[in-house]
Structure formats: C-alpha cells, structure tokens
Homo-oligomer: A and B are copies of this chain.
C-alpha cells in the first residue's frame, strides 16, 4: 500500500507538498501539482482514512440509531438521511438497536470512541439520564422520537395530535368501542399517542376499553393475532387504533379472512402511510408523516452543530401530519378504493 511518503519520493518532493495537493490547498506550482498527481496515479495511491481520522480528529461519519431497518418507516428515513448527509460530505452508518438498551449504548459508544462525529437517534430505549452523558462526546439529534424539555435538537411530528385526529375520525365514522393497539414501548412518543387517543375518547364521552386493548403488537403477524383476540374475547369492538401500518394490515387481513366486513364491522386505522396500507384490500386509513423533510432537517441540524459546536442545542422542529382517509374506515358509504 503506497503512502504519502512513497508519492513524495517518486515525485521528488516532500510529504507536505503532496499533502497540499491531496487537500486542494494553495501554494503549489501547477507543474509540481501535475508531477504529484501523476505519481499518485502511478502508485495507485489513496490516503489512508484511519490516519487522516487520527490526525484530524474527525471521521465525517454520522451514526443513525434505529430499531430495525426492515421497518419501512425507518428504511425511508435512512434513505433520505443518507442522501442529505452525502451532500454535506458525511457518511451515514446504520445502527440497529432491535429495541435493546444494551445495543443502544453500544452504538452510542461509537461517539465516545470517535468512530463517528455525531449521532441521530430515531428511537429511545434507555432513560434520558443514561444517554445524556454521551453528549459530552459529540452532538446528538433526535428525529421522530422526542421528549419534553431536553437540551438536544428534536425533529418530529405531533404524535398526540395525529392520534387524536385519527381517533376522532373513527368516532365520526360511528365507532363506539375502540381498541387501542400499540407496540408496548414506553417512550414519550408512545405516551403522546395514547394521550391523544384518550383525549378524543374523553371529548366524545366514550369509555377506554382497557381490557380489549393490546400493547404487544409490532408486526403483521401480531396484527392477525390482535384480530383473533378481538373476535374471540371482545367481539363488541367496532374500531381499532394502531400505531403501525403493519399491525393494521394484519388486523384487516385476518378480519377479511374471517368474513368480517371492514370497515362496517370493524374500522381500522394505521400509522406511517406505508405502501402496504394503500395496497391492502380494503385500503387502510393512515397517518402520513413527512419523512423526507424530517430526515433532511435532522441531518442539516446535526451538521450545523458539527460545524458550530456552540449552536443552539435545544431547538425543536415540529412537522405536521396528514390523515389519509381510506376504505378501512369509511363506513357504510359508497366509495372507490383510493
């Protein structure tokens, strides 16, 4: 492997001059520059990135923590973040926590060990007190996940409002017995959604049917189980709120299989506007998040903080959702599949 020294020798110049050429710095005669470029070419020289990192104390790399990349919401987030980051000259590394507190901390270690310059967290497993100390090692930006009053930038939607709206929509469609189906994480975000859901019930003077609710549903499979649970134990349920299009799809699928009429027997709302929700039959009402915008903003905020470490650390960027009404909730009306 050729080093800068080899190039310098071959070109008959010093390491310094070669380094200047590598880094596009001024004060190099065009002629010598050419000589060096040729030497680099001849030797197939490429700068060793570990050495550069060690020397410059920068990695030009950002870690993005997320639960699992197979969740299309996070896949889309990464997709956009990576695009944006590369525009700024940053690499993105994908870190799947699989909802494990330990893994989350392991990945935050990347910040300490200087393998990355900054971190984006899209979910939170550990308590904030545990995470906060890592801020000493580099900036962290929250995207999607959020909390009250923290000294880090946060980019997110108002999940309370989103949940409120879709619940109101269910009620408007005539649902009286709504089951609340969630994934069981006890994050602030989950809490927000539940708050919004409960607020809607309260406003319309409907009871919260805790027994008929579920807090362990994450995947399509779980959604199917949820439906069977409802059918067998709580057939009174006529509406389902879920925090995930996958789960909603599972519920709808199984309900249809069982001969239930969706939405007339059971109306279902999802979350995230994944392709799936549109393609299901019937198509599933859901909440559209401005994923690309949030991703872009997140990277922008992080990069800005990387460039200017004493930037305002506490700003919040709140994006608005869109309730997409589809056939899984349009009761007793003649509609075309959107």
Contacts and interface: CB of A to CB of B under 8 A. Distances in A.
A70 B75 contact: yes
Q: Is the interface of A mostly helix, strand, loop or mixed?
A: helix
Contacts of A59: 50
A112 B115 CA distance: 18
A119 interface: no
Nearest to A79: B70
A90 to B, nearest CB: 13
A8 B47 CA distance: 32
B115 A49 contact: yes
A49 B279 contact: no
A79 B78 CA distance: 14
Interface of A: 1, 46-51, 53-54, 59, 68-70, 72, 75-76, 78-79, 82, 91-94, 96, 109, 112-115, 137, 220, 246, 249, 253, 256-257, 275-276, 279-281, 337
Given A46-B113, A92-B94, A280-B280, 4 more contacts: A49-B113, A69-B75, A79-B96, A281-B281
25 contacts: A48-B114, A49-B113, A49-B115, A50-B114, A68-B79, A69-B69, A69-B75, A69-B78, A69-B79, A70-B75, A70-B76, A70-B79, A72-B72, A78-B94, A79-B96, A82-B96, A91-B93, A93-B93, A93-B94, A94-B94, A220-B275, A253-B279, A256-B281, A276-B276, A279-B280
